[in-house]
């Protein structure tokens, strides 16, 4: 090998490394940005600062006896609303970020100024999580899902009963406050996933379909420390039609 071909080879290696380093962040961006369309989260998608409490599709007492009216009202009017107020207060000082939707803020929270990032992740995350939680319940809920989502549940977990058992284990073994999710990945595989505090699956390659709030404020008045009893009652109000709708839009080509 002469010097000329040695230096040419060396230069090519350097160039390849440089290209790989340059491309890597874009690969990561593409990998983590799944489809989020207006229809997926109709209560959230268009909303920008100042955010407001989304309407509830049912009356507070409509989920009785499984979820009691008082818990639901306090949950929505105090916990959820306070998160939205705090998010608005944080955004008040950042006019350049006020045109962004909640999903845009959450998906790109890494790029936000330090003083705004934590508020978005905590209060914005809470706003997203609670919106999906309330929308995922219905007085006509319960039963089992149908169609493609049912097939995927069977494929991944063997049966709906096994899925429920695994979801319950995830919920009861979560230490402290958090959420249990049923998510879909890019390969159309379902996952049970847990997050603590107000984290969202936006940093993962997951699309959220169903979410359970296991913060004590979601069940303590009626169920006290019996989280499993709350969870078993919650299955009776899970709106599988809503999950199917999210699934259809997430997988729509």
Contacts with Mn ion by CB under 5 A lie at 79, 213, 215, 218
CA dihedral 130, 135, 139, 142 (to 10 degrees): -90
Interstrand relation of 178-185 and 190-196 (parallel, antiparallel or unpaired): antiparallel
When the beta carbons of 133 and 163 are compared against Mn ion, the nearer one is 133
> Whose structure tokens read 């209060």?
123
Q: CB 127 → Mn ion: shortest distance, Å?
A: 11
When the beta carbons of 168 and 213 are compared against Mn ion, the nearer one is 213
Q: CB 47 → Mn ion: shortest distance, Å?
A: 19
Q: CB 238 → Mn ion: shortest distance, Å?
A: 16
Chain centre distance of CA 53:
17
Look up residue 240 and give its two tokens: 């599988």
Interstrand relation of 190-196 and 206-213 (parallel, antiparallel or unpaired): unpaired
Look up residue 132 and give its two tokens: 């999906």
When the beta carbons of 107 and 213 are compared against Mn ion, the nearer one is 213
Which one, of 155, 169, 160, 187, lies nearest residue 227 by Cα?
169
When the beta carbons of 64 and 216 are compared against Mn ion, the nearer one is 216
Q: CB 123 → Mn ion: shortest distance, Å?
A: 12
Within the chain, residue ranges assigned H as helices are 3-32, 69-74, 81-92, 102-107, 114-119, 125-135, 147-157, 160-173, 220-223, 227-234, 240-251
When the beta carbons of 34 and 215 are compared against Mn ion, the nearer one is 215
Q: CB 198 → Mn ion: shortest distance, Å?
A: 9
Position of minimal CB gap to Mn ion: 213
């Amino acid at each position: 090998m002469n010097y000329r071909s040695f230096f040419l080879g060396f230069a090519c290696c350097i160039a390849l490394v440089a290209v790989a380093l340059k491309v890597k962040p874009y690969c990561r961006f593409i990998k983590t940005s799944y489809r989020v369309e207006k229809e997926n989260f109709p209560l959230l998608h268009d909303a920008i600062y100042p955010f407001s409490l989304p309407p509830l599709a049912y009356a507070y007492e409509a989920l009785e006896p499984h979820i009691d009216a008082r818990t639901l009202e306090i949950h929505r009017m105090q916990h959820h609303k306070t998160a939205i107020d705090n998010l608005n207060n944080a955004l008040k000082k950042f006019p350049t970020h006020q045109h962004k939707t909640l999903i845009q803020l959450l998906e790109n929270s890494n790029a936000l100024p330090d003083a705004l990032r934590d508020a978005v992740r905590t209060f914005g995350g809470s706003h997203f999580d609670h919106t999906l939680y309330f929308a995922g319940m219905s007085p006509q809920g319960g039963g089992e899902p149908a169609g493609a989502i049912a097939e995927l549940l069977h494929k991944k977990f063997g049966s709906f009963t096994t899925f429920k058992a695994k979801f319950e284990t995830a919920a009861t073994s979560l230490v402290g406050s958090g959420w249990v999710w049923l998510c879909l990945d890019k390969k159309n595989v379902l996952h049970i996933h847990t997050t603590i505090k107000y984290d969202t699956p936006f940093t993962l390659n997951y699309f959220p379909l169903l979410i359970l709030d296991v913060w004590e404020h979601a069940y303590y008045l009626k169920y006290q420390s019996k989280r499993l009893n709350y969870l078993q009652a919650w299955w009776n109000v899970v709106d599988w039609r809503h999950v199917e709708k999210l699934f259809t839009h997430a997988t729509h080509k």
